[in-house]
Amino acid sequence: MTDHRRAVHTDDERPAAEVPDQRVVDMAERRGRGDSGAGGWPEGAGEAAYSAAASAHGRVPAQVGGTLIEARRGFLRRAVGYLAADAGVRQFVDLGSRLPVDEGIGRAAREYAPGSRLVYVDAESSATLRAGRAGADDTAAVVVAVERMDPGALTERIAGGGIVDFDEPVGVLVTDTTALRRDGVLVHDLVRSLHARMGRGGHVAIAQPVPDARDPHSREIAASAFGPFALVEPGLADMAWWPYPDEEVSGEPTGFLAGLGRRC
């Protein structure tokens, strides 16, 4: 394992030519030994802490809404580019990003892996508004409207009817947790449900609001949401510039920590 990593363009107007080499990082090596001790979070502590943090950040952070949307769009495209070019993923599921169909995973998938299967899961009203653009260009897309983001029912829904083949690598992207919080669903529960259903090579990308991205305690809470998935290097970074580590970027953060986990 080395520290070599190819650079990724962060300009959304240009497709990224290269993606970083895939690595798995042990978050225990990247965080301090706080109240949780050397062994990390006690069982259940991460979920409770995350719930408290998410409740405190139910509104958009200090950024203007448009800036946050741009950061979310950029993270989606970089994550999809990474998965398509480096991990061979050809199935992508967008869980509630609330971005137009062609602005998130659709654009990136066409750049890196034309013909990929795209699945958008959202609330009934949002999905209906976006469904008319679901079949654009040469990348198949399906819009799935759900009444509630129940983890078990959700995985069954997208696995059924040939929408997603969990025996093949699939990338699930959760960049807006608004719908989960609305339905009282913890990201931890959703992630565990996805992990149980996915085969090796599956990935989950998550962006979460945190009280203070510089605080090791907040970072540990966010890292715990990935549960049984192995975080890919660089671990967690601000949504606006992942996969660059926070310490390598100067700029105004979004208040969302993002990362990519791999099913081993």
- Whether the per-residue pLDDT at 30 is higher than 70: the answer is no
Which pLDDT band holds residue 34 (cuts at 50, 70, 90)? very low
Q: What is the DSSP string of 15-75?
A: --S--PPP-B--GGGTS---TT-TT-SPTTHHHHHHHHHHHHT-S--SS-HHHHHHHHHHH
Query: SS3 string of 172-215?
Result: EEECCCHHHHHCCCCHHHHHHHHHHHCCCCCEEEEEEECCCCCC
Query: SS3 string of 77-123?
Result: HHHHHHHHHHCCCCEEEEECCCCCCCCCHHHHHHHHCCCCEEEEEEE
Of the candidates 204, 249, 256, 223, the residue with the CA atom closest to the CA atom of residue 30: 223
pLDDT value at residue 66: 65
The total number of residues shown for the chain amounts to 264
Which pLDDT band holds residue 200 (cuts at 50, 70, 90)? very high
| 95: Cβ contacts below 8 Å, ≥ 6 apart | 121, 149, 154, 172, 173, 174, 179, 190
Are β-strands 141-146 and 237-238 bridged in parallel, bridged antiparallel, or unpaired?
unpaired
pLDDT value at residue 139: 61
Q: Could you tell me what percent of the chain has a pLDDT over 90?
A: 47
- Whether the per-residue pLDDT at 165 is higher than 70: the answer is yes
Q: What is the mean pLDDT of residues 20-49?
A: 37
Candidate from 47-56, 73-82, 94-103, 252-261 with smallest mean pLDDT: 47-56
Q: What is the mean pLDDT of residues 121-139?
A: 55
Domain boundaries, the chain: 27-262
Of the candidates 153, 156, 152, 158, the residue with the CA atom closest to the CA atom of residue 173: 158
- Whether the per-residue pLDDT at 149 is higher than 80: the answer is yes
**228: helix, strand or coil:** coil
- Whether the per-residue pLDDT at 212 is higher than 80: the answer is yes
* DSSP at 222: H
- Whether the per-residue pLDDT at 225 is higher than 50: the answer is yes
**236: helix, strand or coil:** coil
**128: helix, strand or coil:** helix
* CATH code for the part of the protein at 27-262: 3.40.50.150
pLDDT value at residue 55: 40
pLDDT value at residue 137: 52
pLDDT value at residue 250: 84
- Whether the per-residue pLDDT at 54 is higher than 50: the answer is no
Give the burial class of 132: count Cβ atoms within 10 A of its Cβ; 0-12 exposed, 13-18 middle, 19 or more buried: exposed
